[in-house]
Amino acid sequence: MSLEYENDGALHAKLVEEVLSQYPDKAAKRRKKHLSVAKSGEEAGEEGEVVSECDVKSNIKSIPGVMTVRGCAYAGSKGVVWGPVKDMVHISHGPVGCGQYSWSQRRNYYVGTTGIDTFGTMQFTSDFQEKDIVFGGDKKLEQIIDEIEELFPLNNGMTVQSECPIGLIGDDTEAVSRNKAKQLEKTIVPVRCEGFRGVSQSLGHHIANDSIRDWVFEKKEVEFEAGPYDVNVIGDYNIGGDAWVSRILLEEIGLRVVGNWSGDATLAEIERAPKAKLNLIHCYRSMNYICRHMEEKYGIPWMEYNFFGPSQIESSLRKIAKHFGPEIEEKTEKVIAKYRPLVDAVIAKYRPRLEGNTVMLYVGGLRPRHVITAYEDLGMVIVGTGYEFAHNDDYQRTSHYVKNGTLIYDDVTGYELEKFIEGVRPNLVGSGIKEKYPVQKMGIPFRQMHSWDYSGPYHGYDGFAIFARDVDLAINNPVWDLFQAPWKKSPSRGEALAAE
Amino acid sequence: MPQSAEKILDHAPLFREPEYRHMLAEKKLNFECPHPDQIVTDQCEFTKTWEYRERNLAREALVVNPAKACQPLGAVFAAAGFERTMSFVHGSQGCVAYYRSHLSRHFKEPASAVSSSMTEDAAVFGGLKNMVDGLANTYQLYDPKMIAVSTTCMAEVIGDDLHSFIENAKDENSVPRDFDVPFAHTPAFVGSHVDGYDGMVKGILEHFWKGQERSQVKGTINIIPGFDGFCVGNNRELKRLLDLMGVSYTFIQDASDQFDTPSDGEYRMYDGGTKIEDVKKALNAEATVSLQRYNTRKTLEYCEEVGQATAPFHYPLGVQATDELLMKVSAISGKEIPETIRLERGRLIDAMADSQSWLHGKKYAIYGDPDFVYAMARFVMETGGEPTHCLATNGTSAWQAELKELLASSPYGKDAQVWAGKDLWAMRSLLFTEPVDLLIGNSHGKYLERDTGTPLIRLTFPIFDRHHHHRFALMGYQGGLRVLTAILDKIFDKLDRETSQTGVTDYSYDLTR
């Protein structure tokens, strides 16, 4: 269900020009490279320049003092990749804050007895004090690992998530982890995800991926009877249950999900991953690294897919099925047919209420493109989109999704986003908690697109229904019409005449 | 198929549907390699024992579920309480994203702050360039009246010197020479957010007061609220009381408007806050009153240094604490406490008397920042309740001693225990081994409520999972009424729940209580 439309590229170009004019020269020059207007295929590439349709620079340092929305490598590792692995204890190693602010905030749903056999919604910290900075924290880390083992004996392993000071004071968390792992016969993974490394969360994803390669794979004999339809789901963090509504579909088409990375995952699911037949990757940005590694080392192919909205779900299911052949393909068509009435009913209910509404997105490294078609399935129009921490390959992929004239912003600053939203006045903005309240104050409906605004899941057919409901309730709530005090409203012509 | 367009199920009901229960059970069985159920149950039961408690409390290095945050959060909160002030946090940028999110999730409001975005090269060469460029960008983009600089632990570990960096930035015209850039070093590995608050407020006062001539204006008072997630309700309530008394006062740091901006179509990046002119004039006040002693230790020392009288309080909540604050203010200002306030006091006492039978002898566990815990313990005792466990992860030994003295002064405090430096995993053991009727804390306490069944009353920062509580005052007599009502509602709701089974327990499902 592809929606045909074109955005107001001229307006968007003007907005870009306007925001750049407000920066000091040096900053304007740097920010210019991150802002653009998507061009159609014919316009792009003239004068021999190698450009994608969304030609912006990405994955480079943020400018100081401009209010970037980005986080850090720790957030990418502990917050995103490792944190959801539920049967391991993840130690926020360093001062108390990082673990405190990220505690239970990503809504990585899991099933387990928290504090006993699972530890997802807990905050384990080494709570560094001045003496740990001065004398080093390795001894303390050893003691922490022992204390975890005593008080939480059913943990199936630990990770040491380094915060900024660890790398600066020269602690050897690798040596501590290696020794303790040997002594306790447990998996202990040191992750050098100090917040100052890299330019955003993104390097933290990469470092976390590498730590799986180096500290988990091939460390244990994995007993597992492999089957012909075994797949790993990679890069689904089960936010609000996303991985569950995806899993049910994959199982229905006849596949066996032997591991989910990393929402609701156990260490065992990660360890056995190299035995699967195919890696299905949802969040390409945060986990493509380990897929490439498994391809090189174990010959496991990987495939990107998109479970946001029926159009993408259908084409993804068919693409996945094709890989496995006629038997799965046949089941897949049945599954698609089974859900078609639900999809039709959801669209029939909500499309008339949402048709033509405009949306601006600003999210992390995947959703700024992945959710676009889900909105379009509801008849909505994407006027602008951008990523916090995408790389060039993400913007290349984005060009398959966005329409001509779409406003593109990479690592947008608070100032830019506010001005863009003011200038465009979309009907909905989808972004994060830091953006939510400023946007709503402007009288513009908003949905958090990291946490699903405490709702979800949004993946899969079951999730699409919830997504449609949530978009509708955001846009069509009566509160947006109450912003202006009636005595401040300029009287309409009719009222003015009547008063005379 | 559980989902339908007519009745859309989101996560809470959806995954209780048979298809999903079956799927998750199969996942666990076939793919998770879980521990056998019996082992999990046994361990779960073991964590409820005195033996586990002893091991848990003997922990020396590991901290689990602490009730404190790091210094820069306090500094960012503090800066938000001054007119058109932008927080500039020098160091790694991820930290700033965290402070902003944390504050927004509690207040349901925008929270602005910028970072100097230091990365690996800055870790090697220092962050001077980041400061120089950063201040220029902030100044130009966000049009602040003041930029308040604090630090993340990264900048502290490499030893960046804020004073000289800011001077350098001014030399390079990042901001005009006379533009106000106060600062505070706020290492995350020392103290907690309350100390960051202290440091930033002191930094701002020093910036404006240093080298200035003080000419005392008799009877004028500065009020420093401290880090307070209820500042929106509390500051406004206190101002109302002070206005009723006709006192001449200045709030030093007041985020009540910043974190409560209206929705009328305009996004206000800055709103309210102590005016810079007023901060300057505040040097001349006769006295500075701190509403939270453990949030303002250094600031009050500084106020004393410049010659002001000081008076620290512990989050004036409840009857006697409010009495003391008002009498102190009256003594300094020479203004009488008007009859209207005495009547308000009487109404709180009236409410307490009406409800005393439901409150007498109830046992409480209380956690939070040191001054809050002190205040709640005191109010609980005023209602005839017993503050069985008083815990502050960021409580010092001085706090412990002071609170113990308070508890010893009342028969209701004789069995109370004070836990300085302990965390909420320790509290879990305390609640299992020495149970209480009610738990007073913040949203993090919901895990304790789930595990131990102790009803949680959310009365302190951060409150993420309930809306708008912070808009209502806890301090003063009016605030006392609100706290009282919150406690009573929790008691009555629980009692109704426990007596609502038709034909079994509902003989006690009384219409009037």
pLDDT at B3: 98
Q: How many residues does chain A have?
A: 500
The string of pLDDT tens digits covering residues A293-333 is 999 999 999 999 999 999 999 999 999 999 999 999 999 99
Considering B76, B149, B153, B194, which one is annotated as catalytic?
A: B153
Active site residues per annotation of A:
72, 75, 106, 205
Cβ within 8 Å, pair B263-A74: no
Q: Does B64 touch chain A (CB under 8 A)?
A: yes
Contact status of A98 with chain B (Cβ, < 8 Å): yes
What is the distance, to the nearest Å, from the Cα of residue B319 to the centroid of all Cα atoms in its chain? 21
Q: What angle do the packed helices A414-424 and B128-142 form, to 10 degrees?
A: 30
Residue A41's pLDDT is what? 63
> pLDDT-based confidence at B19, cuts 50/70/90?
very high
Cα–Cα dist A415/A432, whole Å: 15
DSSP state string for A330-387? HHHHHHHHHHHHHHHHHHHHHHHHHTT-EEEE-BSSSHHHHTHHHHHHTT-EEEEE-B
Judged by average pLDDT, the poorest of A11-20, A219-228, A307-316, A490-499 is: A490-499
> Encoding tokens for residue A30?
């740097």
Instruction: Give per-residue pLDDT as tens, B140-164.
Output: 999 999 999 999 999 999 999 999 9
User: Contacts of residue B394 in chain A, CB cutoff 8 Å?
Assistant: none
Q: Does B265 touch chain A (CB under 8 A)?
A: yes
pLDDT, tens only, B162-189 = 999 999 999 999 999 999 999 999 999 9
Average pLDDT over residues B72-83: 98
CA A74/CA B444 separation, integer angstroms:
22
pLDDT tens profile B195-250 = 999 999 999 999 999 999 999 999 999 999 999 999 999 999 999 999 999 999 99
Name which of A97, A169, A455 is nearest B98 (Cβ-Cβ): A97
Minimal Cβ distance to A144: which of B3, B62, B105: B62
For residue A54, what pLDDT is reported? 82
- In this prediction, residue A497 carries a pLDDT of 56
- A451: tokens are 């946490």
**Residue B157 catalytic?**
yes
Q: What is the pLDDT of residue A431?
A: 98
Do A366 and A284 touch, CB atoms closer than 8 A? yes
Q: Are A470 and A455 in contact (CB under 8 A)?
A: yes
Instruction: Give the pLDDT score at A46.
Output: 47
Average pLDDT over residues A451-468: 98
Contacts of B60 in chain A (CB under 8 A): 143, 147
Q: Is the peptide bond before A95 cis (omega within 30 degrees of 0)?
A: no
Q: What pLDDT is attached to residue A3?
A: 87
For residues B23-42, average pLDDT: 98
Per the structure block, which two tokens stand in for B116? 């100097």
| Across A414-439, average pLDDT | 98
Residue B223: strand pairing partners: B251, B289
Residue B423 CA, distance from chain mean position: 16
Element (H, E) at B245: helix B231-245
Distances (CA, A) of A266 to A84, A117, A188, A284: 9, 10, 14, 21
CB contact under 8 A, A71 and B98: yes
The verdict on A269 touching B (C-beta cutoff 8 Å) is yes
pLDDT of B439 above 80? yes
- Average pLDDT in chain B: 98
E strands present in A195-253: 230-236
Mean pLDDT computed over every residue of chain A: 95
Q: Is the pLDDT of residue A74 over 60?
A: yes
- Write out pLDDT tens, residues B299-341: 999 999 999 999 999 999 999 999 999 999 999 999 999 999 9
Is the pLDDT at A208 greater than 70, yes or no?
A: yes
Q: B64, B68, B443: best mutation site toward chain A, by most A Cβ within 10 Å?
A: B64
> For residue A184, what pLDDT is reported?
98
Q: How many angstroms separate the first and last alpha carbons of chain B?
A: 46
- Please give the Cα distance from A354 to B497 (Å, whole number): 42
Q: Give pTM, 2 decimals.
A: 0.97
From residue B96, alpha-carbon distances to A462, B73, B138, B455 in Å are 36, 9, 14, 34
pLDDT band with cut points at 50, 70 and 90 for residue A1: low
Which residues of chain A neighbour B10 with C-beta distances below 8 Å? Answer: 240, 455-457, 466, 469
Neighbours of B206 (CB within 10 A): 17
Per the structure block, which two tokens stand in for B117? 């975005």
Q: Do A266 and B34 touch (CB under 8 A)?
A: yes
Contact at CB, A248 and B425, closer than 8 angstroms: no
What pairs with residue A381 in β-bridges? A358
How high is the ipTM of this complex?
A: 0.98
Of A113, A168, A455, the CB nearest to B157: A168
Model confidence at A490: pLDDT above 90: no
Place of tokens 């209701």: B412
Banded pLDDT at A492 (limits 50, 70, 90): low
pLDDT tens for A247-271 read 999 999 999 999 999 999 999 999 9
CB contact under 8 A, A443 and B263: yes
Q: What SS3 state is found at A424?
A: helix
Chain A closest-CA separation from residue B363 CA (Å): 25
- Listed by number, the residues of chain B in 471-500 with a beta carbon closer than 8 Å to a beta carbon of chain A are none
Question: What local confidence, expressed as pLDDT, does residue B414 receive?
Answer: 96
Q: How far is A284 from chain B (nearest CA, A)?
A: 22
Residue B404 token pair: 């113990």
DSSP A81: I
Give contacts of B113 with chain A, Cβ < 8 Å.
67
Q: What is the pLDDT of residue B1?
A: 87
User: Smallest Cα–Cα separation from B91: which of B19, B185, B164?
Assistant: B185
What's the gap in Å between the CA of A88 and the closest CA on chain B?
A: 12
Cis peptide before B256 (omega within 30 of 0): no
B32 secondary structure, DSSP code: I
In angstroms, rounded to a whole number, what is the distance separating the alpha carbons of residues A54 and A45?
11
Contacts of A468 in chain B (CB under 8 A): 8
Q: How far is CA B226 from the centre of its chain?
A: 9
Backbone angles phi, psi at A407, to 5 degrees: -75, 130
Angstrom distance (rounded) from CA B80 to CA B83: 8
Both tokens of A333, joined, read 């068509």
Question: What pLDDT is recorded for position B350?
Answer: 98
For residue A23, name the pLDDT band (cuts at 50, 70, 90): very high
* Å between A210 CA and nearest CA of chain B: 19
Q: Is residue A160 helix, strand or coil? A: strand
* Whole-number Å distance between alpha carbons of A339 and A331: 13
Q: Residue count of chain B, please give it.
A: 513
Per-residue confidence band for A40, with pLDDT thresholds at 50, 70 and 90: confident
